[in-house]
Amino acid sequence: MTNITLSINDDIYKKMKRYSEIKWSDFVRKVIEKRIKQMEHLDKDDNKYEKSPILADQRLLAIDWLSKEDNEAWKDL
């Protein structure tokens, strides 16, 4: 298994420590796996049409990543 290193904001790290029962490595691993599956699904769909340099639309990329405020800002785009 390969290891990666992430940089996160100090404030976020402090908040993460409050929830020490969460195995953050497992959580991040699952989020990455989920995103990879979504991207692979897009690749399969993309093969039906002309190959596009765009990997995903903003709505798909925003799923599970943006805050409520971010979603509000992106809604008209």
Say if 69 falls within a structural domain.
yes
Say if 14 falls within a structural domain.
no
Say if 1 falls within a structural domain.
no
Count of domains in the chain? Answer: 1
Return mean pLDDT, the chain: 79
Is pLDDT larger for residue 19 or for residue 55?
19
- From the list 43, 71, 49, 47, the residue with the least C-alpha distance to 59 is 71
Say if 39 falls within a structural domain.
yes
**Reported confidence tier of residue 13, pLDDT bands at 50, 70, 90:** very high
Report d(CA 46, CA 28) in Å as an integer. Answer: 27
Say if 9 falls within a structural domain.
no
Say if 19 falls within a structural domain.
no
Range of the domain at 40: 24-74
